[in-house]
Chain A
Amino acid sequence: MERRKFLGFGIFAAAAAFVPGTLSAEDYRKTKPAVWTAHTMEDAIAKMYGTNVTIEQGVTLTAPDVAANGGAVPVDFSSEIAAKSVAVFQSSNPEAAVCAFTLNENSVIDYSIKIKLKQSGTIIVVVEGKDGKLYSAKKSLNVALGGCEG
């Protein structure tokens, strides 16, 4: 009996050891579909991380104060925080989520992307620290010409 229990435990341990490997390539569109249909930033962050309480420090976010063309607004963000994931949201478009990155030990949080903004609003970058806390940076900007037309 004891030996059987021991073997059973061994199988569980092996299964547990494999789990992190599969999680390291997470497609958030499949695992968290509700994030991508949420309409507000608060709702989307809550759907992604279970809470929308973030600490506003440790993350650097750069975006123009006034975007002449909402079709391609440059957004740069970086952080030194040891993190599991990074996600970008905004309040200008019908849905809030823009993108989400899964990080591993080789990742450096230093990204530049170009996004579409339909109207003036706020961009927020959320970094999920390995300590389980959420860190963020916010930036409000004006959009002169909305970018969802093309």
Chain B
Amino acid sequence: MEIKAKLKDGVTTVKAMAKHPMLTYDTAKKQGVEANFITHIDATVNGKSVLDMSTSQFLSKNPIIKFSFKGAVAGDKITMTWVDLLGGTETSDAIIK
């Protein structure tokens, strides 16, 4: 996962991209493979949740998400994790600038 986190006026804005094919049930059926897509993405800073997102098959391939939150300071570490339908998972982190 690629993560960029920037702090401005007390609000941290994060842009993140997850590498995932996001195969819908329709596409998977045509290709004769099992559908698989990210079902949940979360992000934490200092052990506190800053993003809690349940997702469906209709996010784009390699989905990009931009979100914002308050309460962090520059230098804090943001940790993001996604989980997919087949149990795959990836965790990445970045430092807030």
Closest residue of chain B to A28 (Cβ to Cβ) is: B54
A55 to chain B, nearest CB (A): 23
**Contact residues in B for A95 (Cβ distance below 8 Å):** 56-58
CB of B49 within 8 A of CB of A104, answer: yes
List residues of chain A with CB within 8 A of the CB of B42. 25
Contact count A vs B, C-beta below 8 Å: 106
Task: Give A113 to B54 CA distance when docked, in angstroms.
Answer: 13
Give how many B residues have a beta carbon under 8 Å from the other chain's beta carbons: 34
Interface string of B5-35 (1 = CB under 8 A from A): 0000001010000000010111100000000
A residues near B (Cβ < 8 Å) are 24-29, 36, 71-73, 76, 90, 93-95, 97-108, 110-117, 147-150
Chain B positions near chain A (C-beta within 8 angstroms): 11, 13, 22, 24-27, 39-40, 42, 48-61, 63-72
A-B CB contact pairs (8 Å), 19 listed:
A25-B42, A26-B54, A27-B54, A72-B60, A90-B58, A93-B24, A94-B26, A97-B56, A99-B56, A99-B59, A101-B67, A104-B52, A106-B70, A107-B70, A108-B68, A116-B22, A116-B24, A116-B58, A149-B27
